[in-house]
Structure 1
Amino acid sequence: MLLLLAIGITLCVVAWGYLVYAAIDFGSTARHENDSEAWGYLAVAAVGAVACLFLGFMLVARFSRALGFTKAPDPKPKKDPGAPKGGKRAAR
């Protein structure tokens, strides 16, 4: 499992770097040549880069949990079934 997470993180970081580089290149082309097609590619590359970075961060969080650096949050205590509904205001 750790190997798969490490490979996934690596692929996400590499894809993110490539998409950022592509977005910079498309932005330069769109700006200097006023190419509307390049603006579309810029938008797609930017959204893809954001998605790759988000996925990479999620995989890093799972990786750190698998290694034991972090732990799951404690479960919330169950409410008392005999407690009045609606809080203090409703109990008056």
Structure 2
Amino acid sequence: MSRIRKQPQRMCVGCREMKNKRELVRIVRSPQGDIDLDTTGKKPGRGAYICPEPECLKQAIKGKRLQKALEQNIPEGVLEKIREQIEQDKTGQ
């Protein structure tokens, strides 16, 4: 008799909806202070989860929720890189 495993739930910092962890994209601030997209979900550091939708990223940036979750101001160049990666992942599917 196999047990049904619970799926870990995380809240998107953009739309504030609880979703399965695997449906979301993790943005991580490494111990060195670098901010990057974590595609594996295993990078060390403080993470924030967001839906792979450009609109959710826009809401998270506008409301400064992403900066608050990562406890650091995010340079515009890094935000643009994350925006491009989410757009690329969206069109690549």
> Which TM-score band (shorter chain)?
under 0.3
Tell me the TM-score normalized by structure 2.
0.25
Higher relative contact order at CA 8 Å, sep ≥6: structure 1 or structure 2? 1
Higher strand share: 2
Determine which structure has the larger helix proportion and give its number. 1
Larger radius of gyration: 1
